Amino acid sequence: MLRRLASRCARSLGARGGARPAAGLRHLGRSPRRRASDAPRNQPPSSEVVARPVGVCSMMRLPLQASPQGLDAAFVGVPLDIGTSNRPGARFGPRRIREESVMLRTTNPSTGALPFQTLSVADLGDVNVNLYNLQDSCRLIREAYQKIVAAGCIPLTLGGDHTITYPILQAMAKKHGPVGLLHVDAHTDTADKALGEKVYHGTPFRRCVDEGLLDCKRVVQIGIRGSAMTLDPYRYSWSQGFRLVLAEDCWMKSLVPLMGEVRQQMGGKPMYISFDIDGLDPAYAPGTGTPEIAGLTPSQALEIIRGCQGLNVVGCDLVEVSPPYDPSVKKINLLLHTLQT
């Protein structure tokens, strides 16, 4: 994810000489008098200098910052799981992801990514959600993200159940208008309601369509699978113009060709990435609330994220990480490594 942003900054070098924000960052509204690319940049400390258990538990041990001002991108935690329909625990996701992120280093030799040489990044901590009121939590999330995007900062979100993507996209659409969506998941999350409630982790993208937050012709859902209550569970997504890529159509193959098609579909307009960890097969990532067998592999996940290079990504999230169901450190790290590609 950080490499996606860094590549956009790198493309802005040249004609005038020197560094200036890339187009994907310029349109976020940062004042020309205050460019994050001109400011000193934060660097995760090396374990050769600072022991990994030392320090405050922030993402990649980056500095904690109260304000998004002056940042190109920032990690934000949303510890909410009261919208889940099965196993809870995603409220602990942001904290555990941060704990395991000490294994992430500043460069990616496989891709050549050097994000911290180009971008100013910090950890903004967590949104102060209301664990006793889902609607109020959505309001708090929306208001927090409106401030982040208004500052010209791209949010990299640590969830939290998938309900949180709905208020985040409300904030995104207020800034950018309807956005494209790359959605990796075992489920489409386009239900209308459950137990009489229209907002929970199974409905975020239906609510987004209702409110005109998505550019439906630029919505791609990858990894969809599992049993259903009807023989046509994907009717709603298809009727809205979404592109669905079922998990069975991904088995035993590279997703590089698919992502070439996705890049063409997204074009240069703003788009958002929402990655539900249950998109991966539970053999690799069992720590989630609604696991489904026969999912994507970690290498396919990397192909998806790396395939977003050059796109106008205005935000992303990793949701439904439920640490109580995955005692293995390595499982969480599989997705952490996508942030640096």
What CA–CA distance (Å, rounded) separates 321 from 332? Answer: 8
281 in a labelled binding site: no
Distance of CA 215 to the CA centre of its chain: 18
Bridge partners of residue 318, in order along the sequence: 158, 275
CB 324 within 8 A of CB 89: yes
210 in a labelled binding site: no
What CA–CA distance (Å, rounded) separates 272 from 175? Answer: 13
Q: Is the dihedral of CA 25, 42, 174, 186 positive or negative?
A: positive
Tokens coding 46:
């090396």
Type of residue found at 303: E
Tokens coding 215:
């550019």
189 in a labelled binding site: yes
Tokens coding 220:
């791609």
Alpha helices in the chain (DSSP H): 2-10, 23-26, 93-100, 134-150, 165-176, 204-210, 235-239, 256-266, 298-306, 329-336
161 in a labelled binding site: no
126 in a labelled binding site: no
CA-derived radius of gyration, the chain = 19
Query: Does an H or E element contain 181, and which?
Result: strand 179-184
**Residue 99: what are its φ and ψ, rounded to 5°?**
-60, -45
162 in a labelled binding site: yes
Task: Indicate the annotated binding residues for Mn(2+).
Answer: 162, 185, 187, 189, 276, 278
Task: Indicate the annotated binding residues.
Answer: 162, 185, 187, 189, 276, 278
